[in-house]
Chains A and B, each alone.
Chain A
Amino acid sequence: MSDNVLIRAEGVRKSFNGKEVLKGIDLEIRRGEVVVIIGPSGSGKSTFLRCLNLLEVPTGGHIFFNDVDITDKKVNIDLHRQKMGMVFQHFNLFPHMDILKNMVLGPEKLLKREPEKAKEYAMALLERVGLADRAHAYPSQLSGGQKQRIAIVRALCMQPEVMLFDEPTSALDPEMVGEVLQVMRDLARERMTMVVVTHEMGFAKEVADRVVFLDEGILMEQNEPEEFFNNPKNERLRGFLGKVL
């Protein structure tokens, strides 16, 4: 098995009420790689991403994370999720806690970090995304862009091995998309392993090491961005790119 592969999806299938939205997807994600998944809405790309950390339990196939089959029922998924950060379309910050508490909850309770150490680490991250002065604000006092940046650093606080992004900019006002993408760009530059579901084609072109096209629950094409966007082979991908570019 390749030592560089962090996540390997093997024939992942998922059905909701008899309707199959993922029809057997194989994908490998290597350490330090940024993989962007695109596709029309309803193509199953979000479902696939959520299968990677088992927020959706696949109805078939396997997910290997660090060579452990996490779809195995005997595996304690909570331990593996600690190493897989996730960022959601709707931020999902905890509204009853201030920003700092949002960030240190996981490290303190799960990683058993000293409160002081956890705070220090969180503050350093906040500093990096330019929100240190908001440490004691509550989520409802922040703009969408700020919330999403907090959601990203909250996930980073757990020092994950991979970050999963589920349409992180889709719920944002257009003028706030840039600040979130910038944080993601910085992360990519630090060689964080990232899997990003997005509609931001510019981001895909610029940051991705590999772009994946999903449609109707099937992985139609994957390639490095240059080939992918300039020389798409799949008929559907050509149609899709024609519409969105």
Chain B
Amino acid sequence: MGNFQERFYLNFIKDDRFMYLWNGLIITLEVTLFATLIGICLGFIVAIIRATYDRTGKLKVLNAICQVYLTVIRGTPAVVQLLIMYFVIFGSVNVSKILVAVLAFGINSGAYVAEICRAGIMSIDIGQMEAGRSIGFSYTQTMWYIILPQAFKNVLPALGNEFIVLLKETSISGYIALQDLTKGGDIIRSRTYDAFMPLIGVALVYLVLVLGFTKLVSILERRLNQSER
């Protein structure tokens, strides 16, 4: 296994090569985190519009716009969306690649979050809305105080899953030459001509992250459920 140690040294220790992975990891997490925030905000707004339309028939125009958004985003690959964002939408202006990635992934994620949240809102018994309205709350107030907290709790596992999917999805950031975790491993590979070490290393980091977040989501879920049972 002397060979292993040598390769480990060559790929990670020599010339501080692990810094490619470390810096890449920071960028991956940054992009994932901010994209998730955008995704959740966007997703919730779209979900509320769609659920309102489903239940009351109002917001027809907004609903149509949301439909187009969902169709386009879910009907095209994320890589293509990322490339369009970078080379077409921001093609002629000089903006940070991180910002481009955050926007592209946020808008992409929003479409999936929207459908998750819509299902969550629709899963709340219609009697809850009626009870809220009968007390005198407006539609919006009832949504805010009564429906959304319950819906959020119901969709939390699915949202956690979406976060994990997004975390892995950001590995395509290399397409716009953003040095995320995957790209970091790739750079090492191009320096050392060793594919095994950096790629397995990158895979392990993703795996640990995903396992960590899975655990975190399940803890949060248990916390939220304590109140009801």
Interface residues of chain A, those whose CB is within 8 Å of chain B, are 53, 55, 78-79, 81-86, 88, 90, 92-96, 98, 105-106, 109-110, 138, 140, 154-155, 158
The A-B contact count (CB < 8 A) is 65
**C-alpha spacing A154/B131, complex, angstroms:** 10
Please list 22 pairs of residues, one from A and one from B, whose beta carbons are closer than 8 Å in the complex, sorted by A's number.
Answer: A53-B134, A55-B130, A55-B133, A55-B134, A78-B133, A78-B136, A81-B135, A82-B136, A84-B134, A86-B131, A88-B127, A92-B128, A93-B131, A94-B128, A95-B228, A96-B150, A96-B153, A98-B227, A106-B137, A140-B229, A154-B135, A155-B135
**C-alpha spacing A92/B131, complex, angstroms:** 6
B130 and A92 contact, CB distance less than 8 A = yes
CB neighbours of A55 from chain B (8 A) = 130, 133-134
Q: B138 at the A/B interface (Cβ < 8 Å)?
A: yes
Tell me what chain B mostly uses at the interface: helix, strand, loop, or mixed.
helix
B228 and A138 contact, CB distance less than 8 A = yes
B128 and A105 contact, CB distance less than 8 A = no
Q: Which of A98, A109, A155, A158 has the most CB of B within 10 A?
A: A109
Partner of B228, one of A84, A92, A140: A140
Q: B91 at the A/B interface (Cβ < 8 Å)?
A: no
B131 and A94 contact, CB distance less than 8 A = yes
A88 and B130 contact, CB distance less than 8 A = yes
**C-alpha spacing A105/B142, complex, angstroms:** 11
**C-alpha spacing A86/B130, complex, angstroms:** 9
Interface residues of chain B, those whose CB is within 8 Å of chain A, are 125, 127-128, 130-138, 141, 145-146, 149-150, 153, 227-229
CB neighbours of A110 from chain B (8 A) = 135-137
Report the minimal beta-carbon distance from B228 to chain A, rounded to whole angstroms. Answer: 5
Q: Contacts A94-B146, A138-B228 hold; do A109 and B137 have CB atoms under 8 A apart?
A: yes
**C-alpha spacing A53/B136, complex, angstroms:** 10
**C-alpha spacing A82/B136, complex, angstroms:** 4
**C-alpha spacing A156/B135, complex, angstroms:** 10
Partner of A105, one of B138, B145, B227: B145
Report the minimal beta-carbon distance from B4 to chain A, rounded to whole angstroms. Answer: 53
